């Protein structure tokens, strides 16, 4: 479970959009996992089981509070010695655009996209973690990818063309 903490935190950030709330969610997930260890089936994936606990915990939290989560700045400050400053700045700006575009996806699409593309889970593992059919995983992932591509292509359009369309 300790080795999974970075992946759990990453998924928690995708759900909560705030670091402090994500840390709380990871803690709650670990507590529930340890408390309900008898519910874990040996031979199955611990990560999928914990992701499912996390998602269910988050749903319960949102239902209880009924408030929107603020989008926190997800960039970490880092000193980059010997790097091309211009290139690094452009890369960070592009990464920020991608993060904003991902944050604008519906929660169900965002969760599937991050579990498959970031955490590297297989479709059946995501389906088990989120308690949805594999076909639903595939369709949500497809819609998320299309929406993300459309959003990013729209923001990459040259500024001169954006304002001059009839």
Q: What is the pLDDT of residues 34-46, one digit of tens each?
A: 999 988 988 888 9
Buried b (16+ CB within 10 A) or exposed e, 96-131: eeebebbeebeebbbbbbbbbeebebebebbbbbbe
Residue 83: predicted pLDDT: 57
Closest CA to 52 of 42, 65, 63, 39: 39
Closest CA to 129 of 145, 116, 140: 116
Residue 129: predicted pLDDT: 85
Residue 154: predicted pLDDT: 78
CATH of range 2-65; options 1.10.1740.10, 3.40.50.1260, 1.10.10.10, 1.10.760.10: 1.10.1740.10
Interval 53-67: pLDDT, tens: 998 898 888 877 764
pTM of structure: 0.53
In the chain, which residues have pLDDT < 50?
67-81, 158-166
Residue 155: predicted pLDDT: 60
Residue 117: predicted pLDDT: 86
Residue 77: predicted pLDDT: 44
CATH of range 85-157; options 1.10.10.10, 1.10.8.620, 3.40.50.300, 3.40.50.2300: 1.10.10.10
- Residue for token pair 């889970």: 121
Supply angle C-alpha 5, 111, 105, rounded to 5: 135
Residue 75: predicted pLDDT: 43
Distance CA 133, CA 23 (A): 29
Which residues of the chain form CATH 1.10.1740.10?
2-65
> Which one-letter DSSP state was computed for residue 68?
P
50 in Cβ contact with 1 (< 8 Å): yes
Which residues of the chain form CATH 1.10.10.10?
85-157
Residue 156: predicted pLDDT: 57
């Amino acid at each position: 479970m300790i080795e999974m903490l970075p992946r759990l935190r990453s998924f928690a950030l995708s759900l909560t959009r705030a670091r402090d709330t994500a840390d709380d969610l990871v803690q709650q997930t670990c507590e529930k996992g340890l408390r309900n260890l008898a519910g874990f089936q040996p031979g199955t994936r611990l990560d999928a089981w914990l992701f499912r606990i996390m998602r269910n915990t988050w749903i319960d939290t949102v239902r209880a509070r009924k408030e929107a989560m603020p989008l926190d700045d997800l960039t970490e400050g880092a000193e980059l010695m010997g790097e091309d400053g211009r290139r690094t700045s452009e890369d960070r700006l592009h990464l920020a655009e991608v993060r904003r575009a991902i944050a604008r996806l519906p929660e169900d699409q965002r969760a599937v996209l991050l579990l498959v593309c970031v955490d590297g889970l297989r479709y059946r593992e995501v389906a088990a973690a989120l308690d949805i059919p594999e076909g639903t995983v595939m369709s949500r992932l497809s819609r998320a990818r299309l929406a993300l591509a459309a959003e990013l292509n729209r923001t990459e359009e040259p500024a001169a063309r954006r304002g001059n369309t009839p």
